[in-house]
Amino acid sequence: MIREIAKGLALGAAMLCGPAALAQSPWPEGRTIKIVVPFAAGGATDVIARIMGEKLSRMWTTPAAAASVVIENKGGAGGNIGTEQVARAEPNGDTILIVSVGLATNPYLYKKLSYDPAADFAPVSLVALVPNMLITGNDKPYKTVAELVAWGKANPGKLTYASSGVGTSIHLSGELFKKLSGVDMTHVPYRGSAPAVQDVMAGRVDVMFDNITSSLQQVRGGTLRGVAITTAKRSSFAPELPPVNDVVPGFDVSSWFAFFVPAKTPRAIVDRLARDTKTALEDAGVKEKFAALAAEAVGSTPEELGAFVKVENDRWGKLIRDAGISAE
């Protein structure tokens, strides 16, 4: 009888202590962690998030407890809806934001945001860089950047350039090219990259600084002409393309993808997530999947990401203000 009472007391104590013990488990043991993608499924941000989520989920699952990473797509308003959701989430490491250049540009593109990009987030790690590519139709008279610049200056106001939307890295690449080259071009925004590429291919729009993931296969298949790469140096994904920077000094643009968490997330969690992100990005399987997207795996410290975003803020903020660009 005494033995049965003791067993009952022990079981009761375990039940009472269970939630507290779980709450004190080291992050991310036994947790469901959400990566919020502030865009629709299927785009580069979404694909990169899923590659990372799958790898981190395996890394964080132990014999003692399974951890799961789920992807939540929360698109709309140029990424602002999903970004705000993470800004308001509990700062416990269970909600991660994967975001791109919009975190640096949206404060300048929108008159009012419902979140503060600097105060509401803690930087974690720069995940990947993806170059853009200057493309044109096969029927156009310019095959090099030098020829494009010469033609544009000889025919002021006649060049058009497509983008996947106002304020995207594709759009801003065109604006930076205009500023640094002195060539006047008219912006033609589309709802997404695919219809824009189709009109470039058909010759209805002259050029586009498209994401390399979107257009590389068409260029190599001969249905589009690749003119140059937007990074300051040649890309290993398209080494045959010279940098725009060779003709237009100072031109250096990449789409980038990074992890952030809500501000006030414990530093120990931020550091663990940064370390594990870097480890995941060093995995051969992850690198292979990234290479299929023409994405360069990076991995950085929180401080390095913070410095990187500041540079992006300064550069694009000035360009957006000077060009009078607005997403509203």
Query: What does the mean pLDDT of the chain come to?
Result: 91
pLDDT tens-digit readout, 196-243? 999 999 999 999 999 898 889 899 999 999 999 999 999 999 999 999
pLDDT at 9 over 90: no
Q: Which pairs with CB-CB distance under 8 Å and at least 24 residues apart come from 150-158?
A: 152/181, 152/183, 152/184, 152/185, 153/182, 153/183, 156/184, 157/184, 157/186
Place of tokens 């399974």: 66
pLDDT number for residue 213: 85
Q: Residue ranges per domain, the chain? A: 28-129+255-323, 131-246
Task: Read off the tokens for 312.
Answer: 């992006």
pLDDT tens-digit readout, 239-283? 999 999 999 999 999 999 999 999 999 999 999 999 999 999 999
**Coil, helix or strand for 148?**
helix
Place of tokens 């500041």: 310
Whether domain 131-246 has CATH 3.40.190.10: the reply is: yes
Cα–Cα distance list, 12 to 1, 9, 24, 64, 232 (Å): 17, 5, 19, 22, 65
pLDDT confidence band for 126 (50 / 70 / 90): very high
Q: What is the mean predicted confidence (pLDDT) over 174-185?
A: 96
- The CATH superfamily label for domain 28-129+255-323 reads Bordetella uptake gene, domain 1 (3.40.190.150)
Reference 218, options 193, 248, 246, 242; nearest CA is 193
Instruction: Say which amino acid occupies 120.
Output: D
pLDDT tens-digit readout, 68-110? 999 999 998 889 999 999 999 999 999 999 999 999 999 999 9
Would you tell me the crossing angle of helices 193-201 and 212-221 to the nearest 10 degrees? 30
Residue 228 in contact with residue 133, Cβ under 8 Å?
A: yes
pTM: 0.86
Distance CA 9, CA 65 (A): 26
Cα angle for residues 176, 316, 307 (degrees, 5° grid): 130
pLDDT at 62 over 90: no
Task: Read off the tokens for 188.
Answer: 């033609």
